[in-house]
Amino acid sequence: MMPAQKVFLSGNEAVAAGVRLARPHVIAAYPITPQTTVIERLAEMVEDESLKAEYLHVESEHSALSACIGASAVGARTFTATSSQGLLYMAECLHYASGGRFPVVMMNANRSLALPWNIYGDQRDSLSLLDCGWIQVYAEDAQESLDLIIQAYAIAEHPDVLTPMMINLDGFVITHTYELVSLPSQEDVDAFLPPFLTTNKMDLDHPMSLAFTAGPAYNQAFKQLQHQAVVSASKIICEVEERFGQRFGRNYPGLLETLYCEDAEFILVTLGSVAGTVRPVVEKLRSLGERVGLVRIRYMRPFPDTEIRNALAGAKAVGVLEKDISFGYEGTVFTNVNSALMRAKVQPPRLLNFVGGLGGKDISAEDIEQLFLRLKRPDDGETVVFI
Amino acid sequence: MVKPLYLSEKKISIRELSDREFFYGHKACPGCGGSLALRLALKVFGERSYAVVPAGCMSAVGFIFPQMAFTCNAIISTFPGTASMLSGVAAGARALGIKDFHAVGFAGDGGTADIGLQALSGAIDRHDKIIYICYDNEAYMNTGVQKSGLTPIGARTTTSPAGKRLKGALTQKKPMFEIVAAHGVDYAATATVGNPLDYLRKLDHASKVDGTSYIHVFAPCPVGWGYDTADTIAVAKNAVDCGLWYLAEFSDGKFTLNHKPEEFASAENYLLGQSRFRHLGEEDVKDILAERDAKWSRILKEWSV
């Protein structure tokens, strides 16, 4: 391994640094807060030729993803980034990219959705698009953001996967927070991530029709293949992480990360930056003899259902803390966790859904302590609790 | 005086046109003007083409798995995404070092003047080296003849009915050629499938432009317009002869009219020969002719002839 450089970067800048190292051919860019500094840094890299890529100033997020799909359809490696309203504006193209099996890599800065208008972080944008066929991963800090970008191309472009990948960073909390980040060398990234080669492309020597129509007799077969590809991504993600760890010395735990779940009675399940607030609370309560634990979901798709069951099966009560609500029911993460537990052969633990952080509402360490206290209280029949 | 482009360039003759078919065996209706526009264009652009076709008639008839009608590379784009996907295809191919290719889009009137206008505007603004062809059959034909931004005033469609109170479409056709030209596009032209030599020359020119080309090809639709399927070419020619369509080019910031009828053929015959206009009364036709004449007086005053 070449010596890595230590640099002080925001989450967005770490993403841009990761993108440069991954050598995309085409970047399509349309600004939206809090994603903007990603595309600003990339524009500077293209300007100073430290990144050789076609940089398209598109006129909308729909066009950003449409252009990436077009470039991917001729075999190019592509990148775009968005957030919130922009992600919704691309919704049609999200399904298009996954259905056409174009391994576009995109960063999403998790941000609240209008109305009311709000630029701060919650995860309703990406979670409302969980069913669009993309691999969805949630970073916890700048280092993980950078590493995920590099891993994302290896995962998305894998021939068994060929599925676009969305790397989610909590708006401002991750995108704009500066941290010391280890920047891998270009040589190491090149060795880790070979150029994108695919047969799923328009080729002048072997012409193809892509993104075609498939009627009732064929359509479902394509959808089944697509489902299998995302399911099989679980294995590929672990393989890529192992290879990544060997080369760069940073090891990632697969689809989810657990802390003290082996013997924990009370566990909080969450995702994204708030895990960084939960972790020291868990350590503190542990030091006081409380058997508490943490599950940080990294990948929402493919969903780590076996891992969830393994981590939570022995708990008395589990709280799912998420910055999301499916109005009229419960949080989407909760629905997924609950569904995974329902498949367990044993009586599942009591489950509570803590909904917080909407529109950037602060979640403090004290709040987290209260959540653990709440988990210890007897069942009062409530499931969804706004914090 | 600016020399008209068509005089300064070698004309393509039918004999030189490739025997190869790049869009063939599709399910388009008999007499379809749009499919003819694609077929001729791809004969000019050839095998090193990436065809981008949005949701619409031509994608509906050409890409039904497992029967593919394109023998060159082709892809369906999202409905609004013809131009943005073209930009991506061109950028990707360029970045991969692929040379001598054409990224060419074929979108209908709704896909161009309505839902696809934003992406088209962006691509022209970037001067992306793409060729965008709008095959204009003056309504959303694939979904069953609904009014688009390029449906002419008075035309009956399923969403602009002609009844007791209303007489078909209430708005004028958007001036797409001028809208595109106003961007300072590298090359734009109008054409019809009834004037193939003119169309072929413009396609050939577009293939050599280092920037964005836009060709707006008038492509009659017997199903939506209500005329006999054998008459597509005649209807397209008549539109030019009666002055309700025109053949022109925009290049180097200047408009050039390619064809000036000595005198207009009967617009009444053109209009009333199609069932979509047959409800129009004398006054309605007079209004349409007044609008035509105003347009022509602007053309003759401002464009090179």
Give contacts of B68 with chain A, Cβ < 8 Å: 209, 212
Residues of A in contact with B122 (CB under 8 A): 57-60, 63
Would an 8 Å CB–CB cutoff place A51 in contact with chain B?
A: no
Bond into B196 cis (ω within 30)? no
Q: What is the predicted pLDDT for the residue at B119?
A: 98
In a domain, B2, yes or no: no
Contact: B88, A26; criterion CB under 8 Å: yes
Q: Is A223 on the interface with B (CB under 8 A)?
A: no
Whether residue B8 lies inside any domain: the answer is no
What pLDDT sits at residue A4? 80
CA nearest to B48 within chain A: A204
Is A256-386 assigned to CATH 3.40.640.10?
A: no
Contact flag B74-A210 (C-beta cutoff 8 Å): yes
Tell me phi and psi for residue B280, to 5 degrees.
-70, 140
**Does residue A278 sit at the B interface (CB-CB below 8 Å)?**
no
Yes or no, beta carbons of B50 and A96 under 8 Å apart: no
Within chain A, what is the greatest distance between any pair of CA atoms? 68
Tell me how crowded residue A38 is: count the other CB atoms within 10 A of its CB. Answer: 31
Closest Cα of chain B to A58: distance in Å?
6
Domain count within chain B: 1
State the ipTM, two decimals: 0.96
Q: How far is B68 from chain A (nearest CA, A)?
A: 7
CB proximity under 8 Å: A 229-258 to B: none
Q: How many CB atoms lie within 10 A of CB A243?
A: 14
Q: What is the CATH number of the domain that holds B108?
A: 3.40.50.970
Residues of B in contact with A209 (CB under 8 A): 62-63, 68, 70, 73-75
Decide which of 3.30.1360.80, 3.40.50.970, 3.90.1010.10, 3.30.300.30 is the CATH code for A5-248: 3.40.50.970
**Cβ–Cβ below 8 Å for B63 and A209:** yes
Asked if the structure places residue B6 within a domain, the reply is: no
Domains A5-248 and A256-386 equal at CATH topology level:
yes
- B13 lies in some domain: no
Residues in chain A: 387
Indicate yes or no: CB of A71 within 8 angstroms of CB of B89.
Answer: yes
Side chain identity, residue B175: P
Q: Which of B243, B219, B194 lies closest to B139, judged by CA?
A: B219
Q: Which residues of B touch A216 (CB under 8 A)?
A: none
Q: How far is it, in rounded angstroms, from Cα A61 to Cα A42?
A: 17
Domain boundaries, chain A: 5-248, 256-386
Give the range of the structural domain holding residue B237, as residue numbers without chain letter: 18-302
Instruction: Answer yes or no: do B75 and A78 touch at CB < 8 A.
Output: no
**Contact A78/B81, CB-based, under 8 Å?**
no
Which helix (H) or strand (E) segment holds residue A276: the answer is helix A275-287
Q: Of the candidates B47, B52, B65, which has its C-beta nearest A213's C-beta? A: B65
Nearest 5°: the CA angle B125, B128, B134 is 85
The distance of A68 to chain B (nearest Cα, Å) reads 6
Q: Which two tokens stand for residue B201?
A: 């020359």
Burial A135-155 (b: 16+ CB within 10 A, else e): bbbbbbbbbbbbbbbbbbbbb
Q: Which residue of B has its CA nearest to A66?
A: B85
- Cβ of residue A96 closer than 8 Å to a chain B Cβ: yes
Task: Choose the closest CB to A26 out of B62, B70, B91.
Answer: B91
* DSSP codes, chain B: -PPPHHHHSPPPPGGGS-S--SB-S--PPTT-HHHHHHHHHHHHH-SSEEEEEETTHHHHHHEETTEE-BSSEEEEEPGGGHHHHHHHHHHHHHHTT--S-EEEEEEEHIIIIITTHHHHHHHHHHT-S-EEEEEE-SSBTTTTSB--TTSPTT---SSS-BSSS-BS--SPPP-HHHHHHHTT-SEEEEEETTSHHHHHHHHHHHTT-SS-EEEEEE---HHHHTS-GGGHHHHHHHHHHTTSS--EEEETTEEEE----SS---HHHHHHTSGGGTT--HHHHHHHHHHHHHHHHHHHHHSB-
B1 falls in which pLDDT band (50, 70, 90)? very low
Comparing CB atoms, the residue among A26, A204, A209 nearest residue B70 is A209
For residue A67, the chain B residue with the least C-alpha distance is B88
Hey, is the C-beta of A25 within 8 angstroms of any chain B C-beta? yes
Give pLDDT tens digits along chain A (387 positions).
677 899 999 999 999 999 999 999 999 999 999 999 999 999 999 999 999 999 999 999 999 999 999 999 999 999 999 999 999 999 999 999 999 999 999 999 999 999 999 999 999 999 999 999 999 999 999 999 999 999 999 999 999 999 999 999 999 999 999 999 999 999 999 999 999 999 999 999 999 999 999 999 999 999 999 999 999 999 999 999 999 999 999 999 999 999 999 999 999 999 999 999 999 999 999 999 999 999 999 999 999 999 999 999 899 999 999 999 999 999 999 999 999 999 988 889 999 999 999 999 999 999 999 999 999 999 899 999 999
**Domain assignment present for B218:** yes
Residue B81 lies in a domain: yes
